[in-house]
Amino acid sequence: MAKREIRFGIIGCGLMGREFASAAARWCHLLDLDFEPRIVAVCDVNAAAMTWFERNVPTVGLTTTDYRKILAHADVDAVYCAVPHNLHAQIYVDTIRAGKHLFGEKPFGIDLEANQAILDAIHQHPRVFVRCSSQFPFFPGAYRIAQWIREGRFGRIIEVEAGFWHSSDLNPLKPINWKRRVATNGAYGCMGDLGLHVLHIPLRVGWRPKSVRALLSKIVTERPNQSGNMVPCETWDNAILACDVETGDQAFPMLLSTKRIAPGHANTWFIRVLGTEFSAEFTTKNPKRLASLPYTAGGEQAWHAVDVSYRSAYPAITGGIFEFGFSDAILQMWAAFCDELVNGPQMRQSFYCATPLETAESHRLFTAALESQRTGQTVRVAHLVD
């Protein structure tokens, strides 16, 4: 079967850039697709960061410290951009204006104004395809919960909880980096860096917070810099957002949390949905376990746990009895991006990557959360369309 080749340039050659390169190298892991990515150019302001790509990605023909050369390259169809948040607006807008399809990292702008600039560029260039990276809904357990929500299995929603927790920042001697500075990470702190992952499924199924009461925490207030001197940590470490959701004839509470200091959690994403007829929960801490509780009036209330099979959005060579992991979710997410880019509404499966409008909704929630923290009050969330 002939495959359409999508030629990519990468801007930002750090961890997630290498993850994409690894996913592209594993494309044969996926079955019966009519498209495939090829990485032809890479860019980073740190020339040493591109060495790994030169050694491991033979299709790369251009390495540059100037991202504009990527955008001017005739052989680049699409760009993956993974840079600090303060650079999103300029590079994303320039990419869109250059006519290159874009897969960008969250939060799609350092603040609401930057996010709006990106959305304006998308509106002005409707032929450019743009999505945001968020891989966790492609874990089979999470993917199945999203299907169950769309099928209406839960009855009346009682409450929803979702979160994304790290623990590496528990170490107070961990050197400061760009994510701990407002100038580069933004005032959202952990919400901007982790929040869209938490919101991806809720926003996709129409659960938009109407209001929010935020509890934001700065736990480690200073860290050593490269010289060993202690300097201030400016951004929020942890965030708990208590939200009111109204959708159709239903109203329910939704608790969202993003934490960089969550003892014992290396990289834990989870979602829990409780309903009057069905409940379910999944966490990447136990990626093979999917728990559900079907309920009929007067019946028993008993949670059932199954080892969820390797039944991914896009079929793969891996047998169903084996484990699914982070790199598999990255590969599935990239398949969804490429599938929608090539096939549009006729893509192979229906769960597409996070949209620019979903990033805009997340910005409005995080902006309201900052106001809630400042005032100590519940704050209404201003949506794009009320």
Residue with tokens 């990527």: 70
CB 75 within 8 A of CB 95: no
Average of per-residue pLDDT across 170-187: 96
Question: What does the alpha-carbon distance between residue 195 and residue 189 come to, in Å, rounded to a whole number?
Answer: 10
pLDDT digits (tens, 9 = 90+) for 270-307: 999 999 999 999 999 999 999 999 999 999 999 999 99
Q: Which pLDDT score is estimated for 248?
A: 85
Q: Which pLDDT score is estimated for 320?
A: 87
Average of per-residue pLDDT across 157-166: 98
Angle between helices 356-375 and 190-204 (to 10 degrees): 120
CB 107 within 8 A of CB 195: yes
Reported confidence tier of residue 3, pLDDT bands at 50, 70, 90: confident
Q: Which of 270, 251, 238 is nearest to 369 (CA)?
A: 238
Average of per-residue pLDDT across 95-124: 98
Mean pLDDT of the chain: 96
Instruction: Give the residue ranges of DSSP H helices in the chain.
Output: 15-25, 51-56, 67-72, 88-97, 112-124, 140-151, 182-185, 190-204, 326-343, 356-375
Q: Which domains does the chain have, with CATH numbers?
A: 4-132 (3.40.50.720), 137-320+355-379 (3.30.360.10)
The number of beta carbons lying within 10 Å of the beta carbon of residue 340 is 17
Tokens describing residue 283:
């966490």
Q: Which pLDDT score is estimated for 77?
A: 98
* Three-state DSSP string of 301-349: CCCEEEECCCCCCCCECCCCCCCCCHHHHHHHHHHHHHHHHHHHHHCCC
Question: What does the alpha-carbon distance between residue 273 and residue 170 come to, in Å, rounded to a whole number?
Answer: 29
Reported confidence tier of residue 1, pLDDT bands at 50, 70, 90: low
Q: Which of 90, 59, 88 is nearest to 75 (CA)?
A: 59
Longest Cα–Cα distance of the chain, Å, equals: 66
Q: Which residues lie across from 225 on neighbouring strands? A: none
pLDDT digits (tens, 9 = 90+) for 197-245: 999 999 999 999 999 999 999 999 999 999 999 999 999 999 999 999 9
CB 257 within 8 A of CB 240: yes
Reported confidence tier of residue 385, pLDDT bands at 50, 70, 90: low
- What are the CA-CA distances from residue 305 to residues 149, 188, 286 (Å)? 18, 36, 11
pTM for the full model? 0.96
Residue with tokens 């590079």: 91
